[in-house]
Amino acid sequence: MADHVHALRRMMMFSRPVSEFMHADVTSTGLDTMLSHVARELDERRISAMPVLDAGGRLAGVVSRTDLVRVGRIQAGSHRKASALTLPERSVGDLLGAKPRDPLVAAPGAPLREAARTMRDGRVHRLFIVDDGRVVGVISTLDMMKAVRDAKIGRPISDIMSSPLFTVKALQPISAAIERIEQARVTGLVVIDDDFPVGVFTQLEAMESRDLPRDTPIDDVFDPAMLCLPTTTKIYRAAEQASRLEVRRIIPCRGREAVGIVTGFDLERDRRAHAQDRRERSGTRDRSRAHQLVAARAGREQLAVQVRARVLLQHGPCLPRELVHVGRERGDIAARNAPR
């Protein structure tokens, strides 16, 4: 009964419209804005992406920190004292023209599960909410964690964590971390010191340290804010702590060893797996019930035949028509009264 109540709570939570979870205060930029200005805006506001609007105020695309790290690494020199990232003197319009694609968006009335699926499939941490071509809000993986918290998913985080864990040593240069982020196609790495996780180095740290020499130790710039929890921690407890601390990455640990990572993507994958599991269980119950009904009907028909046979044995093969009718009637009555 408790499992049914929790499943119903999850279903209701992720059926609610995106407009109930989104933030209406959205920072945007224009097609003529220079990439260096976008980088400063992202750093100052601690956000990972901004919508790009055309002259009419309609959505033309999205520029993200991933885009800036990619073009900045291409431009950076290889000398160890060169800047870690060098942004080219180009506009946002130039960048979007080099990577033409439709931005991932959601409508205000779309159910939360649909928005979560779009974020997971597109591997984006923010999704802009668009109504009639105009940006009206934004939703992030932190908002998804709050929904998971409210849904009270009680399984351990070890069930949904992703592994292997992408790590980097604290004394390695930032150029190594930036290259690892780009090659692994992830947004962050766990920083290890003496085989123990001590923080994270993400695209945010990469952008903030772009003017530093490439050989600057990661130890000088990494972010110590992270959430290490035992692998047995319940999912909703972990989501609650992460949302309160505004931490996007949860590190499941066994003792001093980091064994995986949990992000909003993993939480959404778990929700979909639960939904699929419920559908499969429901289908199995339906098939079982159908087999029971078929077996019960066959049993009733067999009982009717047996009763008719007993009437024949009692009265002989040459029965008056009224006795044949009685035999059929008794068989039908017996069949109707048989257990179902």
192 and 317 housed in the same domain: no
Nearest to 209 by CA among 93, 68, 29, 67: 68
Q: How confident is the model at residue 35 (pLDDT cuts 50, 70, 90)?
A: very high
Residue 230 pairs in a beta bridge with: 253
DSSP state of 19: G
Query: 138-142, 228-232, 295-299: which range is least confident on average?
Result: 295-299
Q: What is the pLDDT of residue 277?
A: 46
The tally of domains found in the chain comes to 3
Is 280 among the domain residues?
no
Which of 94, 124, 151 is a domain's end point?
151
127 Cβ neighbours under 8 A, 6+ residues apart: 104, 105, 106, 115, 118, 119, 138, 139, 140
Q: How confident is the model at residue 211 (pLDDT cuts 50, 70, 90)?
A: confident
State whether residue 96 is helix, strand or coil: helix
Residue 65 pairs in a beta bridge with: none
Q: Are residues 104 and 49 in contact, defined by beta-carbon separation less than 8 angstroms?
A: no
Is 88 among the domain residues?
yes
What are 234-275's pLDDT values in tens digits?
Answer: 999 998 998 888 888 899 999 888 899 888 777 666 555 555
Which of 117, 151, 185 is a domain's end point?
151
45 and 98 housed in the same domain: yes
Query: In terms of pTM, does the model score above 0.75?
Result: no
What are 44-57's pLDDT values in tens digits?
Answer: 888 889 999 999 99
120 and 191 housed in the same domain: no
131 and 228 housed in the same domain: no
CATH number at residue 79: 3.10.580.10
30 and 143 housed in the same domain: yes
Query: 53-57, 154-158, 181-185, 217-221: which range is least confident on average?
Result: 181-185
Q: What is the pLDDT of residue 116?
A: 87
Distance (Å, whole) CA 91 – CA 111? 35
DSSP state of 111: B
61 and 8 housed in the same domain: yes
Give the DSSP letter string of 143-203.
HHHHHHHHHT--SBGGGT-B-SPPEEETTSBHHHHHHHHHHHT-SEEEEEETTEEEEEEEH
Which of 126, 151, 176 is a domain's end point?
151
Q: Which domain holds residue 308?
A: 288-337
124 and 164 housed in the same domain: no
For 251, counting Cβ atoms within 10 Å of its Cβ (0-12 exposed, 13-18 middle, 19+ buried), the class is buried
Q: List the helix and strand counts (H, then E) for the chain.
A: 11, 12
Query: 128-132, 147-151, 236-240: which range is least confident on average?
Result: 147-151
